[in-house]
Amino acid sequence: MTAYLCLAMAIIAEVFATSFLKYTDQFTRLVPTLLTFGGYGVAFFFLSLVLRAMPTGVAYAIWSGAGIVLISAINWMWLKQRLDAAALVGIALILLGVVIINLFSRTAGH
């Protein structure tokens, strides 16, 4: 499995887990808690595979940046979370940073 496929799996699993985190009610609700822990377990497993081929800092920057953008989009679409101009600009800069790393960084494992 390629590093980028593993990274995509790690990002999807992390976003899944983080999406359920709010519903754990401080880990007092069993099903959301299990989904959260399971999602984070899968995320860290795939992230550990990525680190075989990609430097930790680059992998983590892509993983966390993409996660922030996706969680913000999910919360905006499904939970109707409002994002002000400053939040949108910040999220756009994070997304731009992830794109720059992927397109131009030689340390990203290309």
b/e 22-43 (16+ beta carbons within 10 angstroms → b): eebeeeeeeebbebbeebbebb
Predicted TM-score of the model (pTM): 0.86
Query: Is the Cα torsion angle 53, 2, 17, 100 positive or negative in sign?
Result: positive
In a structure prediction context, what are the per-residue pLDDT tens digits for the chain, which is 110 residues long? 799 999 999 999 999 999 999 899 999 999 999 999 999 999 999 999 999 999 998 999 999 999 999 999 999 898 888 999 999 999 999 999 999 988 888 776 55
Residue type, position 80, single letter: K
**Residue of 41, 42, 40 whose CA lies nearest to 19:** 40
- Domain parsing of the chain, residue ranges: 3-108
Contact 10, 46 (CB under 8 A): yes
pLDDT at position 110:
53
Measured distance CA(99)–CA(83) in Å, rounded = 22
